[in-house]
């Protein structure tokens, strides 16, 4: 009965998170569809800028993820003062980080564009990316604030509102993109303006949702004037909790970017195939991360309430993730050629991508288990160990991929699977020790 309760709670928490993550990827696809009408240089500029933004997301995850865990723990303990301290720590960390990234990024927008796009043939794309950064980097303040709002709401047990906010933002981007990019002739800058405006509207609604949330409102009334510790202590607590989670995400993102360079040793068609296949696999991997967030919230909440259910939550998270992994592997095995054609690929690119997707099943299953079980570590404060395993796994993956690149994309896929198996093997004894 208790196992069924944990499993049901994980599913209820995870599915809105999944659609929220899916909506975030959709925003990038929407921008690319409209920008593609402006030419290759514009596509390259927006693609590079999106990759930079993905890396910057790792910065604010310190505040967003840390706040989620601390709010969930305080909610489970029924401690209004701790809850208020967690919320205050998240916003204070946002106030410290945002000016550095937004102002510093805006001032360095031209060198940053040249860094990610290079010189020579990339001059036109770099100029367009500089224009995009001129709007998007100051607007990162809105993106970061929305991440903190989402973290607070998720910690309070509400994962549906962040999903609705993400759908709202992307719906507005869908309507504003053609108007600003083509209608007003803003080009690449129009894509940046549409993104910032859509996120700003979602942030406004999110702040209203925070004020209306019953858990937060009751805690505010009960804990008025009783904030535990000082502001510095709140910031330290949030940073200490969220930094390992941010490091885990950043290491995985950096590893993915480095892997592109390894694939480039094989050939141009393989790079294109790998890029398309990776985007297709996001549909599955985001489901794994949704289970991780749900497991972290559930673990932190019950620990705050004095119930140590880490072992039971871990088992149910593994069960849910394994089902998702097997389903994804079967779908890719059966539909690989159609998936590649849906992205407009043909010829050698379509063939290489279909082969890669068909080989990716074991890797996806192992990745699902590793990512989902990581939620127990994050929710219990043991995420530093998880971050170390991830960083070592990324290093092993790159080394194996380099050595096996002579086998083409199947060799890359095998390297990813072996590295993920090593990460699972390293995580298992740590999980058993943590659960005890």
C-alpha dist (Å) from residue 191 to 57, 112, 141, 186, 389? 19, 19, 17, 8, 37
The answer to whether residue 38 scores a pLDDT higher than 60 is yes
Q: What is the dihedral of CA 417, 340, 352, 393, to 10 degrees?
A: -20
Whether residue 315 sits in one domain with residue 189? no
The closest alpha carbon to 244, from 374, 340, 145, 336, belongs to: 374
Q: What would the mean pLDDT of 176-196 be, rounded to a whole number?
A: 88
Report yes or no on 255 lying in a domain: no
pLDDT cut 70: percent of the chain above it: 93
Residue 400 Cα to chain centre, angstroms: 25
pLDDT at 344: 66
Is residue 164 very low, low, confident or very high in pLDDT (cuts 50, 70, 90)?
very high
Q: For the chain, what is the domain count?
A: 2
- Based on the fold, state whether residues 298 and 232 are members of the same structural domain: no
Crossing angle (nearest 10°) for helices 160-178 and 140-155: 160
CA distance 342 to 353: 12
**Half-sphere exposure of residue 337, counting CA atoms within 13 Å on the CB side?**
4
∠ CA 352-355-357 to the nearest 5 degrees? Answer: 110
User: What does the pLDDT read at residue 204?
Assistant: 95
Count of residues making up the chain: 436
Which residue has tokens 């141009």?
268
Which of 200, 221, 236 lies at the terminal end of a domain, its last residue? 236
Q: Concatenated DSSP letters for 50-89?
A: HHHHHHHHHHHHHHHHHHHHHHHHHHHHT-HHHHHHHHHH
User: Could you report the per-residue pLDDT of 14-35, keeping only the tens digit for each?
Assistant: 999 999 888 877 776 777 677 7
The answer to whether residues 222 and 310 belong to one domain is no
Claim to verify: residue 31 and residue 179 sit in the same structural domain:
yes
Whether residue 188 is found in the same domain as residue 316: no
How high is the pLDDT of residue 117? 67
Q: What is the mean pLDDT of the chain?
A: 86
* Burial (CB count <10 Å: 0-12, 13-18, 19+), residue 288: buried
Which of the four pLDDT bands, split at 50, 70 and 90, describes residue 1? low
- Give tens-digit pLDDT for 219-238: 665 555 555 568 888 888 88
> Is 253 part of any domain?
no
What integer pLDDT is reported at residue 193 of this predicted model? 93
Report which of 392, 420, 415, 416 is spatially closest to residue 404, judged by C-alpha positions: 415
CB 51 within 8 A of CB 257: yes
Lowest mean pLDDT among 156-165, 240-249, 316-325, 357-366: 240-249
pTM (2 decimals)?
Answer: 0.87
Tokens read off for 253: 């993102």
Distance between CA atoms of 246 and 241, rounded to whole angstroms?
A: 10
Residue 334 CA to residue 347 CA, distance in Å, equals 19
Query: Six-digit token pair at 163?
Result: 């999903």
**256 lies in a domain?**
no
Report DSSP letters for 278-320, one per residue: HHHHHHHHHHHHHHHHHHHHHHHHHHHTT---HHHHHHHHHHH
> What's the pLDDT score for residue 343?
67
Find out whether 11 and 4 touch, Cβ atoms under 8 Å: no
Tell me, yes or no, whether 2 lies in a domain. Answer: no
pLDDT for 322 equals 94
Position 307 in a domain: yes
Residue 216 and residue 364 share a domain:
no
With 80 as the cut, is the pLDDT of residue 394 above it?
A: yes
pLDDT tens per residue across span 60-112 = 888 889 999 999 999 998 888 888 899 999 999 999 999 999 998 888 888 88
**Percent of the residues in the chain that have a pLDDT greater than 90, as a whole number:** 38
The answer to whether 385 touches 391, Cβ cutoff 8 Å, is no
Q: Are residues 150 and 36 in the same domain?
A: yes
Per-residue pLDDT for 289 more than 90?
yes
CB 178 within 8 A of CB 159: no
Whether residues 159 and 198 share a domain: the answer is yes
Tell me if 394 is assigned to some domain.
Answer: yes
332 and 223 within one domain: no
Residues 95, 143, single domain; the answer is yes
In a domain, 176, yes or no: yes
Residues 49 and 94 in one domain: yes
Q: Per the structure block, which two tokens stand in for 223?
A: 């804990």
- Residue 247 included in any domain: no
One domain, residues 149 and 273: no
Question: How big is the chain by its Cα radius of gyration, in Å?
Answer: 22
Domain ranges, residue 71:
13-236
Asked whether 195 and 141 are in contact (CB, 8 A), the reply is: no
User: Of 217, 236, 255, at which residue does a domain stop?
Assistant: 236
Separation between Cα atoms, residue 132 and residue 47, nearest integer Å: 11
Task: Give pLDDT, residue 118.
Answer: 59
Pull the structure tokens for residue 212: 């209306």
CA distance 179 to 265: 40
Query: Whole-angstrom Cα distance, residue 353 to residue 335?
Result: 12
Residue ending a domain, among 195, 221, 236, is: 236
């Amino acid at each position: 009965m208790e196992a069924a309760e944990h499993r049901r709670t994980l599913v209820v928490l995870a599915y809105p998170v999944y659609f929220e993550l899916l909506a975030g990827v959709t925003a990038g696809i929407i921008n690319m569809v409209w920008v593609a009408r402006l030419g290759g240089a514009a596509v390259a500029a927006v693609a590079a800028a999106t990759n930079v933004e993905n890396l910057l997301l790792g910065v604010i995850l310190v505040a967003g993820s840390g706040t989620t865990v601390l709010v969930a723990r305080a909610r489970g303990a029924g401690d209004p003062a701790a809850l208020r301290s967690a919320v205050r720590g998240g916003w204070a960390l946002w106030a410290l980080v945002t000016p550095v990234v937004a102002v510093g990024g805006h001032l360095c927008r031209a060198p940053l564009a040249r860094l990610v796009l290079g010189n020579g043939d990339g001059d036109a794309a770099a100029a367009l990316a500089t224009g995009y950064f001129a709007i998007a980097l100051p607007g990162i303040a809105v993106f970061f604030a929305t991440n903190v709002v989402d973290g607070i709401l998720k910690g309070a047990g509400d994962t549906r509102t962040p999903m609705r906010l993400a759908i709202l933002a992307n719906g507005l981007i869908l309507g504003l993109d053609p108007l600003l990019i083509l209608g007003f002739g803003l080009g690449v800058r129009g894509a940046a303006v549409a993104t910032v405006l859509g996120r700003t509207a979602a942030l406004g609604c999110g702040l209203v949702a925070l004020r209306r949330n019953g858990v937060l409102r009751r805690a505010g009334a009960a804990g008025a004037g009783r904030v535990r510790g000082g502001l510095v202590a709140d910031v330290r607590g949030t940073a200490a909790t969220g930094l390992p989670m941010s490091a885990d995400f950043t290491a995985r993102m950096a590893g993915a970017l480095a892997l592109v360079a390894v694939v480039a040793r094989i050939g141009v068609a393989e790079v294109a195939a790998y890029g398309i296949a990776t985007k297709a696999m996001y549909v599955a991997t985001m489901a794994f991360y949704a289970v991780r967030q749900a497991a972290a919230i559930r673990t932190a909440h019950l620990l705050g309430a004095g119930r140590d259910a880490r072992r039971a939550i871990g088992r149910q998270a593994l069960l849910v993730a394994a089902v998702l992994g097997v389903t994804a592997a079967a779908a890719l095995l059966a539909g690989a050629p159609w998936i590649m054609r849906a992205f407009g690929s043909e010829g050698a690119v379509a063939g290489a991508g279909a082969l890669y997707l068909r080989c990716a099943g074991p890797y996806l299953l192992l990745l699902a288990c590793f990512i989902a079980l990581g939620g127990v570590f994050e929710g219990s404060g043991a995420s530093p160990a998880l971050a170390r395993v991830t960083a070592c796994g990324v290093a092993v993956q790159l080394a194996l991929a380099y050595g096996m690149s002579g086998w083409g994309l199947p060799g890359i896929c095998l390297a990813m699977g072996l590295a993920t198996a090593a990460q699972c093997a390293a995580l298992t004894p740590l999980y058993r020790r943590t659960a005890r």
